[in-house]
Amino acid sequence: MSIYNYILSHFPIWLWGSVLILVALLVQTSIIFCVRYIYYSHSEKQEISEIGLWVFQVTGTIYAILLGLLNYVALNNFQNLKINLINEANQIGNIFRIIDTSMDRTTAQPFEHQLFQYLDQVIFHEFKIEQNGYAVLSIEQREPGWKYLSVFVKSIIQSSSINDTTKSKILDNLNDLYNSRRIRINHFSPLPNIIWYISSISIFLMMFNIAICTTKSIRVNILVSYLFVISICLILIITIDINKPFFGAITLSDKEFLYVRKNMLNVFGINYLTDTRTLDSQGIKHDHFQ
Amino acid sequence: MITFNEILAKYSILTWGSGIIFIILLSQTVLIFFLEKYFPRKTMLKYNQIILDIFNVIGIIYAILYALLTFFVLNNFQQIENTLNAEVSTIGNIYRNMSLVEHENNIKPLQQQIYKYVEIIIYQELPYQKQGVINVKSELPGWNKLETISRMILKQPMNEFIKSKLIDNLNDLYQYRRDRLNSSSLQLPNGIWIITVLSILFMLMNLAIIGCSTLKSKMIAAYLLGISVGLMVILVAVIDRPFVSGDYINDQYYRNLLAHMVNMYGKEYFGLE
């Protein structure tokens, strides 16, 4: 896990946000004093202030639109990922429903049990790991989930008591489930790093620019610069937070999965779904898994 | 003559990015000193208001243009990432659906071919795409492998509905593969780049004729603008060519899939050591 992800997932937004603003204000203060050191005569201050203001308006417009759009892209990605989570939970619910409605209880129980185990794996292991700062799950972290699904698929296909139409329907839902799952566990940062590097340099340039705009009075200079820095930092903080959808203040929740799990439990009860054995035709219990 | 894509592929972003900013600052300096002869900065002081008003309007027009260009290329970038993800998902679906074929002896050769196909993408096609030299010749091994897989699936005796699913998956895979290969040549048309470069030149020229009592103020303002605009150009160029410039489109999706296959069946299954 990178330090960046660690900070975002383990510290509250107000803490790292305040530190970011504080650092930015410190940098801004040093810039202001540097500029005042370069421009000591009153006429020079006035002149650079005028020209600097025009440049600030142009570059300010570029970055204002850019930051706004970046925020929009991050928000859009967040929303897409949320829809993907809902789809994933829905697919599990759909498969569960198909099994429940198309098979008798004895045939259905092992499959429902396997699906329930997979759902538990997603909610209590994978989601927790993702919320702990792992935006992309490692092979070891994702493999148990895949294995549950593989066992489930194989047992569905090898089962002679399920007809081809049901198998085909379950497979269609499984394909969608696999796609949604892959999007969730492979979720890379939606905004490429280069955008953050260039935005940081640009913000630094803007901070320099605003420092030269108001050199006439030190009080006005500091007040205006600080206002600017705080405003920009607030936008950055919100964009950084949205850009990491699994952790931070604005985060995706596992409530869709929990809802499906609750429904399963309501319909069948915990004993039915967690019993690892099933009845055969003679009423003797056997293990589901070898 | 070396193309822009070749420069992007050959040098690091720091090198060519600094090059772009250096060229902009150099042009800025040359323009300021050249225009100083015809429009001396002290004489131009009385026209400052008009020049700066015009500069403001032109600047805002171009500012919106650059920001929207960045947004546009960022959108394309994300579509390419989605295509890669969809391709990996489809390969995964084919691989999984193959495991449903009844006889185990028939499954192994099919899955081995899929493994080799993913290897071709990782070790041959993506490096070519990163160098910006993807062409009919470099695409051929991948297409051949896919053709072999299609033939094997069609000839293999298997349950009809599994075969039908595999053919559907293959159709999707062909589509995503084609999208990925095409996306490496998708970039902003040259006309847009020419207009962008000209607009930068006009903006620099506008600032170069501003009236000023000292050269220092003019240079600082001009360099600030130059670096800001240069950064935007670098950003658009990088995102516009995600395969070529740096590792922004990477093979991690495919590598994860291979690791998953090996994890499920073991290295021996695929003939690995």
pLDDT digits (tens, 9 = 90+) for A36-77: 887 767 777 777 777 888 888 888 888 888 888 888 888 888
How much is the average pLDDT of A16-24?
Answer: 93
Q: What is the pLDDT of residue A25?
A: 93
Give the residue from chain B lying closest to A195, CA to CA: B235
Burial of A262 (0-12, 13-18, 19+ CB in 10 A): exposed
| Inter-residue contact B172 to B150 (CB < 8 Å) | no
Q: What is the pLDDT of residue A271?
A: 65
- Substitution target in B231, B265, B267 with the highest count of A β-carbons within 10 Å is B231
- What percentage of chain A's residues is helix, strand, coil (to nearest 5)? 80, 0, 20
Which one-letter DSSP state was computed for residue B47? G
Residues A175 and B93: beta-carbon distance below 8 Å:
yes
Per-residue model confidence (pLDDT) at position A283? 47
CA distance A172 to A182: 16
Dump pLDDT digits (tens) for B192-210. Answer: 888 888 888 888 888 888 8
Q: How many domains does chain A have?
A: 1
Of B58 and A278, more confident: B58
Residues of chain B with pLDDT > 70: what percent? Answer: 94
**HSE toward the beta carbon, residue A269, CA cutoff 13 A:** 3
* CB contact (8 A) between residue A47 and residue B264: no
**Alpha carbons B60 and A57: distance in angstroms, whole number:** 8
B176 vs B54, more confident: B176
pLDDT band at A188 (very low <50, low <70, confident <90, very high): low
CB < 8 Å to A208, chain B:
224
Contacts (Cβ under 8 Å, ≥6 apart) of A177:
A88, A91, A92, A95, A149
Give B-chain residues touching A206 at CB under 8 angstroms.
Answer: 228
Asked if B74 contacts B188 with a C-beta cutoff of 8 angstroms, the reply is no
The pLDDT of residue A272 is: 64
A182: nearest CB among B55, B88, B239: B88
- Per the CB < 8 A criterion, the answer to whether A205 and B224 are in contact is yes
Residue A138 has pLDDT above 80, yes or no: no
Residues of A in contact with B238 (CB under 8 A): 192, 194
Residue type, B137: K
Give me the domain span that covers residue A232: 3-287
What is the model's pLDDT at position B239?
84
| Cα distance between residue A53 and residue A2, in whole Å | 39
Residue-wise DSSP of B117-129: HHHHIIIIIHHHH
Contact between B60 and A59 under an 8 Å Cβ cutoff? The reply is no
Please name the member of B67, B97, B213 whose beta carbon is closest to the beta carbon of A62. B67
Q: What's the distance, Cα to Cα, between the start and end of chain B in Å?
A: 44
Residue B218 has pLDDT above 90, yes or no: no
Nearest to A44 among B55, B217, B246 (CB): B217
pLDDT at A270 over 90: no
Q: If you average pLDDT over every residue of chain A, what do you get?
A: 81
Distance from CA of A58 to the nearest CA of B (A): 5
Provide, as residue numbers in chain A, all residues whose Cβ is less than 8 Å from the Cβ of B229.
62
pLDDT one-digit tens code per residue, B18-48: 999 999 999 889 988 888 888 888 788 888 8
pLDDT of residue A290: 37
The ipTM is 0.75
> Could you tell me how many residues make up chain A?
290
Percentage of the residues of chain B whose pLDDT score is greater than 90: 2
Nearest CA-CA distance, residue A43 and chain B, Å: 9
CA distance B106 to chain A (A): 16
Nearest-angstrom CA–CA distance, B204 and B24: 9
Which of A14-23, A195-204, B82-91, B252-261 comes out lowest in average pLDDT?
A: B252-261
Pick from B165, B216, B235: CB nearest A195: B235
Q: With residue A276 as reference, give the H or E element that holds it.
A: none
Q: What is the DSSP string of A203-261?
A: HHHHHHHHHHHT-S-HHHHHHHHHHHHHHHHHHHHHHHHHHSTTSSSS---SHHHHHHH
Residue A100 has pLDDT above 50, yes or no: yes
Rounded to whole angstroms, the Cα distance separating A260 from A93 reads 6
pLDDT at B102 over 70: no
What's the gap in Å between the CA of A176 and the closest CA on chain B? 9
Low-confidence winner among A224-228, B48-52, B87-91, B244-248 (lowest mean pLDDT): B244-248
Roughly what angle, to the nearest 10 degrees, separates helices A42-102 and A105-121?
160
